[in-house]
Amino acid sequence: MALNYDDLMATSVVDLPFSYGDTESMLYAISIGFGRNAVDPDELPFVYEQGEPMRTVPSLATVLVPDMFPPDLGWDFSQVLHVEQRLQLYRPLPVAADLLINKKIVAAFDHGPRRGALVLFEAEARLAKDDTALFTIGNTIMARADGGFGGPRGKGPPAHRPPRREPDLSCDLETRSDQALLYRLNGDRNPLHADPSLARRVGYPVPILHGLCTYGVACHAILKTICAYDYTLITGFDARFSAPVLPGDTITTDMWQDGNIVSFQCSVKERDIVVLKNGKCTLAA
């Protein structure tokens, strides 16, 4: 079976119901490093449902759309890479909500038999109670084994470029050796993030951290360093994945702030590698 352009462009889901509660909101926050200091008054509202009103991490939206990348599109799912994540928030995420979700493929580009295919997905979530738009997420996927299916050539959205100066701010956040096992409870059960023998077969010394966990850690860093934990400030969060993180690595997020735009890049200094690049965080004006 191979990719079929007409079938891809007809792929859509309308009004998919999805519900989450405060347990899911807290689990997500803990899985990207909130609450490591269990008495930190700034982080406790993200992981504890009593006391002051709970807060949500903006990047929680990325785990609120089930089956974002269907495995049965005709592609070789073992060769699929998540290369870019985009998020636009229309209002702060509730701690718990019933959602209606529309999902579709917005573009599919054929780079040829040896270069693969680029597929762009988009999902919009609305509050079921009043049909209010909540967020839109976009994903760019590289199907490395599926080029040559006859689709148009083309590129994904242009990359955001950080300023050419030293970072204005930087934040180091340590990951845990068991962090991939914890993060997978948000819904991504890919065995590459849990099975040591599989990880070794594909060239990694241990199961790797989910790219979206690294993305969440970057959001954590900006909330902590620039937003003073005011989760209502972040209205957009885009980045490209460039290399995997190994659980236990320290993720350094470098930030450049220009008005309401925060450019960011994540690296693992122990291995001298950039793991997230072209980051763009939009703050409320």
Query: How high is the pLDDT of residue 275?
Result: 98
Count of residues in the chain: 285
Q: What is the pLDDT of residue 61?
A: 98
Asked if 210 and 180 touch (Cβ cutoff 8 Å), the reply is yes
- Under DSSP, is residue 257 helix (H, G, I), strand (E, B) or coil? strand
The pair of structure tokens assigned to 151 is: 């689709």
Q: Which of 28-47 are b and which e, b meaning 16 or more Cβ less than 10 Å from the residue's Cβ?
A: bbbbbbbeeeeeeeebbbbb
Taking the CA of residue 197 as centre, how many other CA atoms within 13 Å lie in the half-sphere pointing to its CB? 0
Look at residue 2 in the predicted model and tell me its pLDDT. Answer: 79
Which fold would CATH assign to domain 5-143?
Answer: Thiol Ester Dehydrase; Chain A (3.10.129)
- What is the reported pLDDT for 67? 87
Class of domain 169-278: alpha beta
What pLDDT shows up at residue 1?
Answer: 52
Hey, do 5-143 and 169-278 end up sharing a CATH topology, with the first three levels equal?
Answer: yes
pLDDT for position 172? 98
The residues carrying an active-site annotation are 188, 193, 208, 211
Look up tokens 């763009």; give the residue.
280
Q: Is 221 exposed, middle or buried (0-12, 13-18, 19+ CB in 10 A)?
A: buried
Segment holding 183, helix H or strand E: helix 179-183
d(CA 251, CA 214): 8
pTM over 0.85: yes
pLDDT by 10-residue block (mean), the chain, 285 residues: 88 96 98 96 96 94 92 85 97 98 97 94 98 97 93 93 97 97 95 94 95 98 98 98 97 98 96 97 95
Please report, for the chain, the start and end positions of each structural domain, with discontinuous segments joined by +: 5-143, 169-278
